[in-house]
């Protein structure tokens, strides 16, 4: 089996999904908590609405809170739906664990299902030195030569960003085709130069216009968890950028920024990271595009001001979806 996805397949809107949960998923004794019917509906709806790729099982996808059995059930259902309705859709399933051997076992499970893309952070107990980081990803690439890898570069989850020299080394591996990038900072320019077109650094959708303006040949895609509140705003932004309609792209970016104003992730990302799962699920359910369901332990609480900010973000996003739908 040859590698299916390369850097040129990582473009457009890549939706980042939660793992839908059944009632009672927040109980310590809860098992088999994945809402497989909603998972099926979620993936079918995203594909029907026109997203260009899907990433699962990052932080908000509760990779750290799912049991192995739950992760396997969710992954199997996602794989079945994509294989049925969009077999060529770029799909990257998260397989990050505390240790390399468990990660290898999970990627073998993906491989057995015929999944050819993995979303992969680093072992999470402690920070890794640059040399260890490179060795980890190189070992994974050597072990799975046909598996495309999208890096998960979350400085809060992994105790620091991927250093620019590490990006340069990883870009030499054909399996490493992209990275989910957290924010447009001065480091982004250094990292863009480091990967030299061999890897797609995906910005958040609200940073896409600015990134595309600076790097028109490289910034051909974005990631969006807000697409799970309804993908219409991000798809409209994609189409405006593709057609060169900068006035529309600026307007859409302004409106997307408006939805994020009350959301803690925009104002204090380190603090948000303590409550990520809880707040993301609240805004998804408030927007109503999917039924994300309750968070799993230990992410069961959040200060009410944070929670209401997440719900307001969901309400504003739903309003923006209605705006776009009304004009089309």
Cα 41-61-315 angle, rounded to 5 deg: 70
Cβ atoms within 10 Å of 125's Cβ, excluding its own? 9
Out of 137, 167, 180, 306, the active site residue is 180
- Which run of H or E residues covers position 72? helix 68-85
Out of 152, 167, 181, 306, the active site residue is 152
Confidence at residue 77, expressed as pLDDT on a 0 to 100 scale = 98
Give strand ranges (E) for the chain: 12-16, 53-56, 91-94, 117-120, 148-153, 176-181, 200-202, 221-224
Confidence at residue 132, expressed as pLDDT on a 0 to 100 scale = 97
Confidence at residue 1, expressed as pLDDT on a 0 to 100 scale = 72
Confidence at residue 126, expressed as pLDDT on a 0 to 100 scale = 86
- pTM comes to 0.97
Structural Rg of the chain based on CA atoms: 18
Confidence at residue 183, expressed as pLDDT on a 0 to 100 scale = 86
What is the CATH class of 12-230?
A: alpha beta
pLDDT tens for residues 5-40?
A: 999 999 999 999 999 999 999 999 999 999 999 999
Catalytic status, residue 152: yes
Domain definitions of the chain by residue range: 12-230
Catalytic status, residue 198: no
């Amino acid at each position: 089996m040859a590698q299916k996805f390369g850097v040129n397949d990582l473009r457009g809107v890549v939706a980042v999904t939660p793992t839908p949960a059944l009632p009672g998923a927040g109980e310590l004794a809860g098992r088999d908590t994945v809402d497989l019917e909603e998972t099926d509906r979620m993936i079918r709806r995203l594909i029907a609405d026109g997203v260009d790729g899907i990433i699962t099982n990052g932080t908000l996808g509760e990779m750290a809170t799912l049991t192995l059995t739950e992760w396997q059930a969710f992954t199997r259902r996602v794989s079945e739906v994509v294989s049925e309705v969009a077999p060529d859709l770029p799909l990257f399933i998260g397989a990050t664990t505390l240790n390399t051997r468990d990660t290898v076992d999970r990627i073998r499970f993906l491989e057995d299902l015929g999944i050819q893309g993995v979303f992969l952070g680093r072992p999470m107990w402690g920070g890794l030195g640059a040399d260890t980081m490179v060795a980890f990803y190189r070992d994974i690439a050597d072990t799975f030569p046909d598996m495309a890898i999208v890096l998960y570069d979350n400085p809060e989850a992994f105790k620091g960003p991927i250093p620019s020299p590490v990006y340069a080394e990883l870009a030499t591996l054909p399996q490493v085709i992209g990275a989910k990038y957290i924010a447009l900072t001065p480091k982004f320019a250094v990292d863009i130069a480091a990967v030299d077109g061999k890897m797609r650094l995906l910005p958040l959708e609200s940073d896409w216009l600015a990134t595309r303006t600076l790097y028109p040949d490289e910034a051909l895609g974005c990631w969006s968890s807000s697409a799970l509140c309804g993908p219409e705003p991000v798809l409209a932004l994609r189409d405006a950028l593709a057609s060169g309609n900068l006035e529309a792209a600026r307007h859409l970016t302004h409106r997307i920024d408006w939805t994020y104003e009350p959301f803690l992730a925009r104002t204090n990302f380190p603090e948000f990271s303590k409550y990520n799962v809880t707040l993301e699920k609240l805004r998804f359910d408030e927007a109503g595009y999917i039924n994300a369901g309750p968070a799993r332990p230990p992410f069961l609480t959040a200060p009410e001001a944070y929670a209401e900010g997440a719900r307001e973000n969901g309400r504003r996003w739903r309003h923006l979806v209605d705006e776009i739908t009304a004009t089309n």
